[in-house]
Structure 1
Amino acid sequence: MPVKHPKIAVLLAAYNGMQWIEEQLASILGQLAVDVTIYISVDLSDDGTEVWCEAFSAVDSRVVLLPPAGRFGGAARNFFRLIRDVDLHGYDAVAFADQDDIWQPDKLLRATQIIASQGVDAYSSNVTAFWPDGRTILLDKSQPQVAWDFLFEAAGPGCTYVFSPALACSLRQQVIHDWEPLQQVSLHDWYSYAFARSHGFEWFIDSQSSMLYRQHENNQVGANTGLSSLFQRYVTIHEGWWFKQVRTIALLVGVGNAPFVRGWLKLRRRDLLLLSVRGGQCRRRLRDKFLFFFVCCLTAVVGTKS
């Protein structure tokens, strides 16, 4: 009897990806002991990405190019389109993929084995960020999950996410139901983690790095390393984007009436001061708990631009 490999749907969002997409596809199609089908949705590009993907899919039945759907203007809307439009029935797992990374050969096998052995519904992992000059650094996202971290951060890069069929189906139904308000969500990985945790799905964050996470000037969200990245993240908070996303996601995943959330959801000055002392429930990493306290206090004092 032939060995039955897990059948996995990989949802890949692309945009102007000609520099990297061939190497990424090779690393996905080369995954060990799994059967993959890659579904690609291309945001309108000007570097020939659509034409290249169409030609590639014509010669490899494991790659399916979705028909054009206009301009998305960001990875989140492109991924939501993939979740909505791809028939996920019959797959043993569903994974997200970016266009510019390099996966370890056992990434999907390890993820599906952990989902089965741990009895969880979702997997994500640490990654190894790498730069064109050869620098690398491990990005550690595997700190213990806390009660409300899912409202304030993702479970790591979305390109490491792997879902069970039950979670994938439930997420797809919610995306279809909330399609219009979901267009206000800027980060699909943050929303997906929040949806899973708020709906009782168990999530495992692996301390092992599953992929090389390419860093370049076109990253929508890159590695959070160094003072410059911390400053950029503070700018987004000061401009009001981050707290608006927190509130939007909290309402979309249905926890707006939870006593903990209701206490700060209006984001008034006193709400933020109250929230500042709850950092232990809101962020996983110790450094981020302290930063959370200061950001909430500072925002309560100086406010945001919007």
Structure 2
Amino acid sequence: EVLILLALKDGAVFLQAQLDSIAMQRGIRWRLLVSDDGSTDAGPDILRAFASRFPPGQVRMIPGPGRGAAENFLHLLRAADPGAPFIAFSDQDDVWMPDKLARARQRLAECPAHLPALGFGHRLRCDSRLARPRPCSTPRRATGFRNAMVQNIAAGNTLLLNRAAIDLVLRHEAARAPVPLHDWWIYLLVTGAGGRAIPDPQPQLFYRQHRGNMLGACNGARGRLRHMMQSFSGRSRRWNDANLAALSSLRGALTPENRVAFDSFTATRRAPGLTRRLRGLRASGVYRQSRAGQLALWLLAALNRL
């Protein structure tokens, strides 16, 4: 059984299609927990009508914390059934492939039950009408903590966590500082603690692009330019500050090797002088998945905006 966590906020326009795609999941049992973060549209009514199609308790809705999408998802994680063996995260505006959960569950079966693990998958970005599907970029290099410190590749709308990963995140929720993105935080913590991040190269969902996207895809010339401009305007530095602050209070959760990498990267970001920052970046071993991403990482370090 998979417990699906869906963060809702004024998502009525596209919500029904996503709910229907959840209902069509094959080869697996599912339950749905929704956190409504103060919707002013018909989203909660759509959800209640959807819940009426299933046995009591299979679809539930709770009030959200009112502190943004990342905290809404982590609020859902804290409210989840402690016996759930697997947890998936759902956005309110995508459409899932019918075998999304079954495929992700199968890939996580490769890991021992005691090892924290997350599965994440490939997406097809499309327009608001689900037309013109095109593949999003996929990982070209290994997943791991040195990648997670500078890049989030585990998109939240594809995440599936095993019980060991769920317990790991929950154990450190009380001591965690605020983080910008729930999926990035989970990728950081699971890999930092020695867990695995397992990619699935097959498409899992249609990633709808519209004006209300929180981030949107960074594929295509326009998307890459937009994300690059946002990064160089200070977003990368702010997000790195937040992620590393959250990790700094949880250093004990990191493996010895990853504590060394964490300390090295933290010192590199604060190092005075161009040469020291670039040498430190190389020594820390952090990396992004693509050549363009790696070049942007060096430029951010050179400009002291990392």
Q: How would you bin the TM-score normalised by the shorter chain? A: 0.7 to 0.9
**Percent of pairs identical after alignment?**
23
Q: Please name the residue that 1:293 is paired with.
A: 298
Partner SS for 1:281: coil
In structure 2, the residue matched to 1:208 is 202
Match of 2:255 in 1: none
For the Cα contact (< 8 Å) 1:124–1:205, is it kept in 2? yes
Identify which of 66, 69, 82 aligns with 1:71.
Answer: 66
| Aligned counterparts, 1:22-61, within 5 A | 22-60=16-54, 61=56
Provide runs of 4+ in structure 1 moved above 6 Å.
none
RMSD of aligned residue pairs (Cα, Å):
2.4
- Cα deviation, 1:132-175, whole Å, max 9, x if unaligned, reads 46222111223222551111111232110001111111112222
1:263 aligned residue (261, 264, 267): 267
1:104 has 2:101 as partner: no
User: How far apart, in 2, do the equivalents of 1:113 and 1:31 lie?
Assistant: 14
User: Residues 91-118 of structure 1, C-alpha deviation per residue, up to 9 Å, x if partnerless?
Assistant: 2211111011111111111111111135
- Distance of 1:46 and 1:122 partners within structure 2: 33
- Contact preservation (8 Å) 1:122, 1:163: yes
Deviation readout 1:25-82 (Å, 9 max, x if unpaired): 111121111111111011212212123323433443321101x24523x311211111
Measured after TM superposition, the shift of residue 276 of structure 1 is 5.1
What is the aligned partner in structure 1 of residue 123 from structure 2? 127
Per the alignment, residue 140 of structure 1 pairs with 137
1:4: which partner in 2? Answer: none
Which segment is superposed worse, 247-256 or 28-37? Answer: 247-256
Question: Does structure 1 retain, via aligned residues, the 8 Å contact 2:6–2:32?
Answer: yes
Other structure's SS at 2:124 match: strand
Secondary structure at 1:10's aligned position in 2?
Answer: strand
Check conservation: 1:141, 1:156, Cα contact below 8 A.
no
| Structure 2 counterpart of 1:131, one-letter code | D
Alignment of 1:235-250 (within 5 A): 235-250=229-244
Alignment partner for residue 162 of structure 2, among 161, 164, 170?
164
Q: Please say if residues 282 and 289 of structure 1, whose CA atoms lie closer than 8 Å, have aligned partners that are also in contact.
A: yes
Say if 1:12 and 1:99, in contact at 8 Å, map to a contact too. Answer: yes
Q: Judging changes above 3 Å, is the alpha-carbon distance between structure 1 residues 261 and 295 closer, same or farther for their aligned structure 2 residues?
A: closer
Compute the TM-score of the two structures, normalised by the length of structure 2: 0.85
Give, in angstroms, the shift of residue 251 of structure 1.
Answer: 3.3
**Structure 2 stretches lacking a partner, 5+ long:** 252-258
Q: Aligned in 2, Cα 1:203/1:29: closer, same or farther, shift over 3 Å?
A: same
Residue 147 of structure 1 contacts residue 282 of structure 1 at CA under 8 Å; is this kept in 2? no
User: Structure 1: where are the runs of 5+ without partners?
Assistant: 1-6
Q: Secondary structure at the match of 1:236?
A: helix
Could you tell me how far 1:263 is from its partner in structure 2?
2.7
Following superposition, the deviation at residue 219 of structure 1 comes to: 0.5
Q: Which residue of 2 aligns with 1:114?
A: 107
The worse-fitting range, judged by mean Cα deviation, of 242-251 and 252-261 is 252-261
Give the 3 Å change call, closer, same or farther, for CA 188–139 of structure 1 in structure 2.
Answer: same
1:109 and 1:33, CA in 2 relative to 1: closer, same or farther beyond 3 A? same
Deviation at 1:228?
Answer: 2.7
Q: How many aligned positions are there? A: 288
The answer to whether the 8 A contact 1:102-1:211 is kept is yes
Q: What is the identity, as a one-letter code, of the residue corresponding to 1:263?
A: A
Aligned counterpart for 2:9 among listed residues 15, 34, 42: 15
Q: How much has 1:266 moved relative to structure 2?
A: 2.4
Q: Which residue does 2:256 correspond to in 1? A: none
Distance 1:246 1:268 in 2: 18
User: C-alpha distance in 2, partners of 1:265/1:281?
Assistant: 12
Q: Structure 2 CA distance, aligned partners of 1:130 and 1:13?
A: 21
For the Cα contact (< 8 Å) 1:57–1:65, is it kept in 2? no
What whole-Å deviation, never above 9, does each CA across 1:267-301 have from its counterpart, x for those lacking one?
6544543355469632122331122222322x23x
